[in-house]
Amino acid sequence: MIKAKRPKLELLSRPFIKKIVAEALVLLEKQGVFVENKEALRLLREAGMKIDEPAKRALISPELVEKCLSTAPAVIKLYDRFGDKEFIVGEDWVHFNPGSAAVTILDHGTQAERKAVTDDLVRFTRLVDCLPNYDFQSTGLISSDVPEEIADSYRLYICLQYSSKPAVTGTFRVEGFQPMYEMLLAVRGSAKSLAERPLAIFDACPSPPLKWSNLTTQSLIDCARAGIPSELISMGLTGATSPVTIAGTLVQHVAENLSGLVIAHLAQQGAPVIFGGSPSSFDMRRGTTPMGAIETMMIDSAYAQIGKYLRLPTHAYMGLSDAKVNDAQAGLESGTGAVLAALAGINVVSGPGMLDFESAQSLEKLVIDNEICGMAYRLIEGISQRDEPLALDLFQDFRQGTQFLTMPHTRKWYREEHIFPSITDRETYDGWVSLGKKSMTDRASEEAERLLREHQAALPDEAVMRELGKIMKREARNAGLTDLPASEVV
Amino acid sequence: MTEENLFERMAKAVVEGQREEAEKLAKEAVRRRMDLLEVIEKGYVPGIQKVGELWEKGEYFLPELITSAECMKAAMAVLQPELKKARIDAPSKGKVVIGTVEGDIHDIGKNLVASMLLAYRFDVYDLGADVKLEKFIEKAQETKADFICLSALLTTTMLGQRKLIEMIRDRDLAGKYKVLVGGAPVNEKWAADIGADGYAENALAAVKLASRLMAK
């Protein structure tokens, strides 16, 4: 039987990859990176790197980069909250998860963006929990009804309760790591168990060009020591905060990611790090950061290819749109991005549900994008041989009027070969009219409501719930909040 | 080369974004002891005005806009000290204290606005990024500023804009400085909600807004 050929997108030739990596290494060695974190500077100094102390600038040698790369895991495994289901982050596995940390939600009723509150976050989390094409959860919305000081840990608190999928998350403040770590420990039971079965990925975003802020560096260090995978989110804007050419931006992207890997590895050798990012093709007219631009997707696909060459797990922000509502642009950009990401074999693809340059989430879009991701998964499964011979048997009694509908072969394979969308319109015209002439967004909204009504999330056991509550209440009190917002949706 | 020729070349240098040329021509004007106010008005200003027109027509994009503003800045850096020496008041359209509010290290947008204001002959005191709110008020008092311009890229730091306006009110300084706000998450509604004097969507709009408010 002939196995399916994995369809693959590769934008760069091998010599081009080598050239980009070579320039990135020179950049790190000659220009270095700014590191605004004392401990990281100390670690770099102790590793023999040249540090310009007043400027907080570190020059990183190619030898150190090579050394870190040689012990960096090419594959990271994540586990769901039960610790049972394993997800391989590496090779050509693709895991879609919603775009993270949106500040607003697109309200379907008013078709306007508004600040998200606890109920939105709960609904978001529950919906992602039951949509099958999202392998990971993301702490996707910032809840405006809790103080900013606890906004990061509060997202994880809600996420861990209402979903059992692994989470992509991150800190907003240096102090945010401790309670978030405690929450993950509460679920896993011990530090050892958490390190063996990671439940969450933490995003760490360098500031382009080539700068590691105190917060993000600390997150790298803390995660490395706790065995939590760090996802490096380099985000150059072509022609604004990174070179305008795609290849030039790739050089900076690779240098930023490699410097992040080095910092994480100096804190803990062999620490799990994901080669990722959220760069974009800067809009030279409006100064915006279009995530749906084809050039953005080209940068993503290309750096992911370089990440694979370096034998690191990869991540990108794709499958999202800059549209403000769920219109044709939203579908166009999200669909293109998700398909390209899948073809490029990017391991963690963050983006579904997102609109308006990573700033808004939409429940309807989550439902639509789930369908898009399903198509992308089907695409990369490819075409395989199911039978021997392929079809000749089916034509044995061939005559006028032969049909295939009643053949056992059809019944045997149709569900394997074809996927069945739930909200994509495949009605006849009259059928569509009789169903109320609804748009995809309307159907998606109804589907979201149905899923939220019917979905029974598996909650953590009571002791874990109590512990999570204890940690969150303590943080809330420290931030001056007497009680946590009550959620009406449970 | 006649003065007219020189003026044309100054305008052209600004329009085409030739920074060294703009600077060289300014030095030439000083060497020739030309009327420097006239040099600004007839040479450089028509250049930046042309750039503004090209931007509004959609022909010029940010790279052209910002390099032209840099040309203007380079020329003014030559001319202003000379004007000062001659005790001539450099033409200023207003004094602006600008910066990105504390907790926020993003400054591309703010730099664009600062450069354009400067190019349009505002006196600009750029405090940089991650600026303590107190610092804005101090600088505004020290320079007798007309405007305090606050940039924020994050929804969290955006709150600093509201806070500064409250601080101004608390200290009975309301009305003394016009507070203008900008940044990706900021919009007209937010500006109105927090009681700012104005909001501008892009750098050129900021120049127009400030010019309009000065004319009032």
Confidence of residue B26 (pLDDT cuts 50, 70, 90): very high
Residue among A142, A151, A287 whose CB faces B109 most closely: A287
Q: Which residues 155-184 of B are in CB contact (within 8 Å) with A?
A: 155-156, 159, 184
CA-closest candidate to residue B155, choices B134, B184, B128: B184
Write down the pLDDT at residue A349: 98
Residue A490 has a pLDDT of: 46
| Structure confidence by residue, pLDDT tens digits, A456-465 | 989 999 999 9
Cβ-Cβ contacts under 8 Å between A and B: the total is: 29
Minimal Cα distance from A244: which residue of B? B63
B109 Cβ under 8 Å from any chain A Cβ: yes
**Could you tell me the two tokens for A211?**
């700068």
Using CA coordinates, name the residue in chain A closest to B157: A148
Task: Quick: pLDDT tens for A15-29.
Answer: 999 999 999 999 999
Residues of B with Cβ-Cβ distance to A213 under 8 angstroms: 105
What pLDDT was estimated at residue B108? 79
User: Would an 8 Å CB–CB cutoff place B63 in contact with chain A?
Assistant: yes
Comparing CB atoms, the residue among A148, A241, A288 nearest residue B156 is: A148
Which residues of B fall within a CB distance of 8 Å from A285? 58, 61-62
Nearest to B149 by CA among A201, A134, B140, A242: B140
B97: enclosing H helix or E strand:
strand B95-100
B193 touches chain A (CB under 8 A): no
pTM: 0.90
Mean pLDDT, rounded, of chain A: 96
Q: How far is CA A207 from CA A242, A259, A298, in A?
A: 11, 12, 21
Tell which CATH classification among 3.20.20.480, 3.30.1380.10, 3.40.50.2300, 3.20.20.150 matches the domain A1-385+421-490: 3.20.20.480
pLDDT digit string, tens, across residues B38-60:
999 999 999 999 999 999 899 99
Of the candidates B161, B175, B66, B164, the residue with the CA atom closest to the CA atom of residue B114: B66
Q: Is A287–B185 a contact, with Cβ atoms under 8 angstroms apart? A: no
Least CB–CB distance from A241: residue in B108, B155, B159: B108
User: Which residues of chain A carry a pLDDT beneath 50?
Assistant: 490
In this complex, is the C-beta atom of B185 within 8 Å of any C-beta atom belonging to chain A?
Answer: yes
Instruction: Tell which residue, B176, B153, B66, B185, has the closest CA to residue B116.
Output: B66
Give the distance from residue B89's alpha carbon to the nearest chain A alpha carbon, in angstroms: 35
Determine which of B115, B156, B204 to mutate to test the interface with A (most A C-beta atoms within 10 Å): B156
| Average pLDDT of span B86-113 | 86
Residue ranges of domains in chain B, CATH in brackets: 3-85 (1.10.1240.10), 95-215 (3.40.50.280)
- Nearest CA-CA distance, residue B154 and chain A, Å: 10
Q: Nearest by CB to B63, from A213, A237, A239: name it.
A: A239
Chain A residue with the nearest C-alpha to that of B58: A285
Q: Token digits for A479?
A: 């931030």
ipTM: 0.77
pLDDT at A488: 55
Q: Where are the domains of chain A?
A: 1-385+421-490
Contact B202 A359 (CB under 8 A): no
**Cα separation values, B160 from A113, A332, B58, B129, B181, Å:** 22, 37, 33, 13, 11
The model's confidence at residue B1, banded by pLDDT at 50, 70 and 90, is confident
* Nearest CB to A287 within list B155, B156, B202: B202
Using an 8 Å CB-CB cutoff, list chain B residues near A322: none
3-state secondary structure of A115: strand
In sequence order, what are the residues at sequence separation of 6 or more whose Cβ sits closer than 8 angstroms to the Cβ of residue B215? none
pLDDT for position A230: 98
- CA B49 to chain A, closest CA, distance in angstroms equals 18
pLDDT at position B184, please? 80
